[in-house]
Amino acid sequence: MGAKIYQNKKYIAFFLIPAFVFMLIFLYYPFIQNIINSFQHIKYMGTAADKWNAPFYKNYLEIFKDPKMLIALKNTGIMIIATIVGEVGLAIVLSLLVSNIKKGAGFFRVVYFFPIVISATALGLLFNLVFLYDKGMINQLLQLIGVLDAGKNELIDWKATHPMFTMLVPVIWQYVGFYFIILLTGLSGIPEDLYEAAEIDGASKLQQVRYVTLPLLRNSICTCVVLAVTGALKVFDLPWTMFVNGMSNTWLTGTYMYSKVYVDVDYSSAIAVVIVIIGVVLSVVVNQIFKTNDDYDV
């Protein structure tokens, strides 16, 4: 009786059609409309388009002339590299270490995953206090250990002198735990027999990681890299909280798009389309890099 329900295609349609309608209304239609908006003239949010741009691709030409947009693309490129190396790289190291712990592994899983459940806005405010120019936590620590002269009240203005570093640290710190859990799940699917066989053959722990763990973890790493790349393109809330209205040298594609949406809707729509295109292209590139003929399905 239970198996026959899967043979009746009407039940499949019953569950698929509502989900498809929901995605059609709230995902595909807005995205298509956004593409159309990028070719029209819409000045303010909530107003209708009054005409088509002349030429219709004017906004896309403007993207490559806009100095702030070029800064945003450059900073987003830095963010992508930082997330791949910092977030995914650290997550690989942490997952390998925790997977070898026999006692207390649950504690580290909770500790490393905890930042992802905290609101990005709250984290932005928290790290504003950490990097605060006037007696922020880091400046106090540097004065305490003698790096900065406390007598002269020597301080470092982190946001002004190291804006990208100030922005990248909390973003990386927040998302390491997310990729850590994905990779740890992938590690749990690798059979212990393979490690035992490698150990019998005389492989060291480092060789086991290189020749057993990493090749079999390739699909999980690929997933993490794709998520890191696409996430870096649309990261918004935490950087916006730390740099309200942005700064001339801290724009990201997500923050700059948001800053334009209330004063130049069609241009903001064009930026959104470019973000999607870059994300799709980079995702394809990442999948091609990790693609092999004998993928191990963890």
Is pLDDT at 106 greater than 70 in this prediction?
yes
Distances 124 to 169, 173, 237 between C-alpha atoms, Å:
11, 11, 8
Reported as a single tens digit per residue, the pLDDT across 242-277 is 887 666 788 999 999 998 988 889 999 999 999 999
Asked, for residue 131, whether it belongs to a domain, the answer is: no
- CATH number of domain containing 68: 1.10.3720.10
Q: Give the whole-number percent of the chain exceeding pLDDT 90.
A: 42
Mean pLDDT, residues 68-93: 93
Mean pLDDT, residues 161-173: 90
pLDDT of residue 276: 94
Residue 205 banded pLDDT, cuts 50, 70, 90: confident
Residue 59 banded pLDDT, cuts 50, 70, 90: very high
Mean pLDDT, residues 128-153: 86
Is pLDDT at 82 greater than 90 in this prediction?
yes
Tokens standing for residue 185 = 């799940």
Q: Which residues contact 282 (CB under 8 A, 6 or more apart)?
A: 80, 229, 230, 233
Is pLDDT at 295 greater than 90 in this prediction?
no
pLDDT of residue 6: 57
pLDDT of residue 298: 45
pLDDT of residue 14: 81
Asked, for residue 90, whether it belongs to a domain, the answer is: yes
Domain containing 259: what range? 40-121+168-290
Distance CA 183, CA 187 (A): 6
Asked, for residue 71, whether it belongs to a domain, the answer is: yes
Asked, for residue 32, whether it belongs to a domain, the answer is: no
Interhelix angle 67-82/163-188, rounded to 10 degrees, is 40
Reported as a single tens digit per residue, the pLDDT across 16-45 is 888 999 999 999 999 999 999 999 998 888
Distance CA 214, CA 210 (A): 6
State pTM to two decimals: 0.85
Distance CA 42, CA 264 (A): 7
Asked, for residue 268, whether it belongs to a domain, the answer is: yes
Q: Which residues pair with 51 in a beta bridge?
A: 41
Is pLDDT at 133 greater than 80 in this prediction?
no
pLDDT of residue 69: 93
Distance CA 86, CA 171 (A): 10
* Residue that is written with structure tokens 């999980």 in the block: 220
Q: Which residues of 269-279 are buried (b: 16+ CB within 10 A; e: fewer)?
A: bbbbbbbbebb
Asked, for residue 145, whether it belongs to a domain, the answer is: no
Asked, for residue 67, whether it belongs to a domain, the answer is: yes
pLDDT of residue 105: 82
Is pLDDT at 296 greater than 80 in this prediction?
no
Q: Which residues contact 232 (CB under 8 A, 6 or more apart)?
A: 76, 79, 80, 82, 83
* Residue that is written with structure tokens 């997933």 in the block: 223
How many distinct structural domains can be found in the chain? 1
Asked, for residue 72, whether it belongs to a domain, the answer is: yes
Listed range (8-12, 148-152, 264-268) with the worst mean pLDDT: 8-12
Q: Which residues pair with 41 in a beta bridge?
A: 51
Listed range (77-86, 97-106, 185-194) with the worst mean pLDDT: 97-106
Average pLDDT of the chain to the nearest whole number: 87
Listed range (109-118, 219-228, 273-282, 287-296) with the worst mean pLDDT: 287-296
Distance CA 108, CA 101 (A): 10
Is pLDDT at 213 greater than 50 in this prediction?
yes
